[in-house]
Chains A and B, each alone.
Chain A
């Protein structure tokens, strides 16, 4: 561990400095997670009864599915990851959050942007590019919000007492640089009045989609896991060298994946992408080895900690999701798997299995600290963990099977139908789990707000009754 962290004196102050920004980021994120899963569930009902929403234009599968996906990534994963990142930076720097007003404002901009994006997609204003459906106004809000948070994060990073970087620093800093680059490049080339012409649009879209959903989520997820796994298992990271190797190979190979094999583009693009995808096995193995060696050496009781369960399983899900990505890119498999539900299974495993699990675990670990209070429903942590595991299994495995069946049966919709119906139950489990997370965050926020209100009221009232008692009012 970072030796500077042994100093516990100012830890409480550091945590307190993160309180409001993190509540603003996590609160909205939890709300979007619930709404996103709800929309995904509604979209999934289309497989049971295609005619269900025939009368309302905004509830067809083509509206609900992109809206749900965007809410899960832009609404939940990114703000939650940024919140966790701010806290990790403050803790690793042993310094209070720099300019906490920026992330507070940014959180509101961000969630407003997501709201505008959601309404626009449901009203048919989607830009038509995967993961870039949000209109320009929403995209600008998100971009500004991200930069504001990045300023606060980098400022906090600059305050660090220990100059040597901890492995989580690499991953999280890279994520901070990654997103503005890909998001601005993709938006400037695609979601403008004068976009690039022809099939270049599709290539840039694939480049962005992969860099967001695979690389960005991987950077923050692994960065967070490398911070919490050593803490929760009581062992140092095993080892720094492997982590460095994983970092370099992940960003070098990961950035080049994502062009599908059958795409109507110049042949060098998918060929290069296939090579990079196969090489991706190297960072996947390195990350899994680091995580396993760090977690295994400690006592068994660590599984009692809900956060450890979440983060440890999250890393395993990342490994599986990466392997699915590699399988999709191999030319001999891609003939069967391309254009099937298999690709959806991979993306959903990446978001709901890997990213959401690690972020939920981190939030449960961080919240009691920054609020200086116990979780209101401690039992929900384990309950959500099991719901998430069942949910991911029941959602992703049927989708993957549906993909293989569909590919083997020459895209006959009947081949996949049963499995798609099963996948709905997985979404239901995940939705229940997300409600537990939201309940914890919201009850905690309400309690804090009530306490705050009481303090304020007491402060206002107190001079009338007994002026000398002001100092006794406790926050």
Chain B
């Protein structure tokens, strides 16, 4: 390269390409995104946050919570789960014999070992998940056979992966962050992922206690205490209804109570608004209402 213009054009091509690809293209593809429709429902996703939760997002930002927490659940794939809900007229042993008679079918060869292992431990309690497979054809074949035999079963689509169901029931998708500003996905899990924390730990009092004294509920927590989001004050004649209920070792001096400041309540409102629990086109699953124990 002989002069400065050559370098200029090199940068124009290299950085311009990546600018078009990673800045302009996503802005076009996602910039006009609207609320998504929840599967098998007329409702839309995500919900607009309440005022408190919107303010809480700013508390989350100001305290740099994203330095230690992610808001993205990963998923390997989906699986079909066949759950037995009723045996009709047959007894558990008859059912086991019936399933064993299906093992010769070519479409079920892949899952015979799993089925046999599951049924060996099964004592006849209902509902029971007898088969989990990522092969749709297998799941459909099995469900058809069960139906033909007069056994009641439900087929659920479930998300699979290391993060599931530990931190959420499905992966995070772009639609979840429509109302976030700033979007704080985080890149380091010193603490747990929070994308589904509102569904996982929905008790606001638990969240407040955890912010005040992390070691109270999680013994080996690495989280610093956020005591500066709380007021410790004299109980006086009119105790605050908001005061935290703390065990002795974490409680303040006698005659004092710990009252969350508005910031703490807003932060908790934000945390509880993080749910990621609606089935969407790009992250399908069957919402479980009653079938699971």
- Chain A interface (Cβ within 8 Å of chain B)? 46-47, 50-57, 60-63, 65-66, 124-130, 154, 157-158, 163-165, 169-170, 173-174, 177-178, 181-182, 185, 189-190, 195-204, 206-207, 211, 244, 247-248, 251-252, 255-256, 259-260, 262-266, 269, 272, 335, 338-341, 343-344, 406, 410-411, 413-414, 417
Contact = CB atoms under 8 A, between A and B. Distances in A.
Contacts of B22: 203-204, 206-207, 256, 259, 269
19 contacts: A61-B64, A62-B67, A65-B64, A128-B66, A170-B7, A189-B23, A195-B182, A198-B175, A199-B26, A248-B14, A251-B15, A255-B17, A266-B30, A272-B21, A411-B189, A413-B190, A413-B221, A413-B222, A414-B220
A271 B74 CA distance: 15
B10 A170 contact: yes
A130 B62 CA distance: 13
Contacts of B281: none
B171 interface: yes
B76 to A, nearest CB: 9
Interface in B215-243: 220-228
B67 A251 contact: no
B10 A251 contact: yes
B224 A60 contact: yes
Contacts of A260: 187
Contact of B222 (A47, A52, A128): A47
Interface in B151-194: 162, 166, 171-178, 180-193
Contacts of A406: 189
B40 interface: no
B137 to A, nearest CB: 24
Given A50-B224, A204-B23, A198 B187 contact: no
Contact of A251 (B1, B14, B188, B193): B14
B96 interface: no
Contacts of B171: 264
A193 B185 CA distance: 20
Contacts of B17: 252, 255-256
B3 A165 contact: yes
Nearest to A341: B188
A245 B108 CA distance: 55
A244 to B, nearest CB: 7
A263 B185 contact: yes
B62 A124 contact: yes
A286 to B, nearest CB: 15
Contacts of A200: 26-27, 30-31
B196 to A, nearest CB: 13
Nearest to A177: B11
A252 B17 CA distance: 9
A255 B18 contact: yes
Contact of A413 (B27, B33, B220): B220
B78 to A, nearest CB: 15
Contacts of A252: 13-14, 17
A341 B189 CA distance: 8
B26 A54 contact: no
B89 interface: no
Given A63-B63, A165-B1, A204-B22, A174 B10 contact: yes
B1 A263 contact: no
B132 to A, nearest CB: 20
Contacts of A341: 188
B175 to A, nearest CB: 8
Contacts of B172: 264
A261 B61 CA distance: 24
B214 interface: yes
A54 B226 contact: yes
Given A199-B183, A247-B10, A165 B63 contact: no
A339 B65 contact: no
B224 A169 contact: no
Given A62-B68, A178-B11, 15 more contacts: A56-B228, A61-B64, A62-B65, A128-B182, A165-B6, A182-B15, A189-B27, A197-B181, A202-B185, A211-B15, A256-B21, A266-B30, A339-B70, A410-B166, A413-B191
A169 B7 contact: yes
B67 A266 contact: no
B23 A185 contact: yes
Nearest to A264: B172
A213 B292 CA distance: 48
Nearest to A124: B62
Contacts of A190: 182
B182 A46 contact: no
Interface in B186-212: 186-193
A127 B182 contact: yes
A410 to B, nearest CB: 6
Contact of B33 (A125, A198, A264): A198
B83 interface: no
A266 B29 CA distance: 9
B19 interface: yes
A61 B224 contact: yes
Contacts of B178: 197-198
A150 B6 CA distance: 18
Given A50-B223, A174-B7, A244 B1 contact: yes
B227 A54 contact: yes
A340 B188 contact: yes
The 9 tightest CB contacts between A and B, nearest first, are: A62-B64, A124-B62, A255-B18, A128-B182, A251-B14, A128-B61, A262-B74, A264-B172, A207-B22
A126 B21 CA distance: 27
Contacts of A54: 224-228
Interface string B14-52: 110111011100110111010000000000000000000
B96 to A, nearest CB: 35
B62 A125 contact: yes
Given A197-B181, A264-B176, A181 B188 contact: no
